[in-house]
Amino acid sequence: MANLGYIGLGVMGGRIADRLISKGHTVTGYNRTRDKAKWLVGRGLTLADSPRAAASAADVTFVMVANSAALDAVANGPDGFIAGLSPGKIVVDMSTVSPALSRTIAANVRERGARMVDAPVSGSVLTLEQGKLSIMVGGDRATFDAVKPILDDIGPKVTYVGGNGLAVSMKIAANISVAVQMLAFAEGVLLAEKSGIARDVAVDVLTHSAIGSPMLQYRGPFVLQMPDEAWFNVTMMQKDVQLALEMGRQLDVPLPTAAATNEWLTAARAMGLADKDYAAVFQALARAAGVTG
């Protein structure tokens, strides 16, 4: 069993840390909002006072924070996790951030004699709880081989995609697809509803039709009843879509459906839905279509 650190114990990070504890690993964790991580103490987590302290206590430190600014904040400075690294230690960054920043952080980690892989996940809270989470990994192949047994304890599908930053690129490519799917699903539900079909019937038919991807099967019903706690909120999804649009400009890849989805995510935020699950694009589109309820 491994001696692990975990920085960023939010909706997904906290549940992944809990899963690692349940597999017998020792986990020292840090979260900016300490109270949100207290439930894990009862599960066996040791709370650290800083990212540096979490990394100092661990052989392998996981990181899962909201965005590029948050990663920079927990990585750098006297209390950042880089300051807690020493030769032989490994960082597994599960955040979805700018690939360029990910490579920069990895280079700074190497200067400490440590190693880093980016390892974002594809899936949701439900996918994790079902043991079906998919993980993509970018970095040195030997480092991937070293951490793969631990990653296997999180999810059954762990794929090496190449060098540092490429797993983040792969995650961004995947997330624009699920964002676009959600908007297209909302269009279909609303078209059916305004034609006279009950919303719950439309959701049932569509999620069990040819378009019923795993994501739509668990998130599609959110248009009937939103979860109390967002699994992945509008702001977070728009961050990923905008990372994709930035990559598209850099790589000369047109992303027309991603651009349209970005506008509806903006509309959802303007309507006060920023903290709701990104399925709230349905609510934004429904208001535009004059549909209530």
Nearest 5°: the CA angle 43, 49, 52 is 110
The reply to whether 171 belongs to the active site is yes
In this structure, are residues 64 and 94 in contact, taking their beta carbons and an 8 Å threshold?
A: yes
Choose, from 171, 194, 239, 276, the residue flagged as catalytic: 171
- Pairing relation of β-strands 157-162 and 134-138? parallel
- State both tokens at 129: 């709880």
Helix axes 234-251, 256-270, angle to 10 degrees: 150
Helix axes 166-194, 281-288, angle to 10 degrees: 40
With H, G, I as helix, E, B as strand and everything else as coil, classify residue 62.
strand
In this structure, are residues 74 and 51 in contact, taking their beta carbons and an 8 Å threshold?
A: yes
Q: What is the CB-side half-sphere exposure of residue 76 using CA atoms within 13 A? A: 13
The single-letter code of the amino acid at 1 is: M
The single-letter code of the amino acid at 151 is: L
Q: Which residues are catalytic?
A: 171
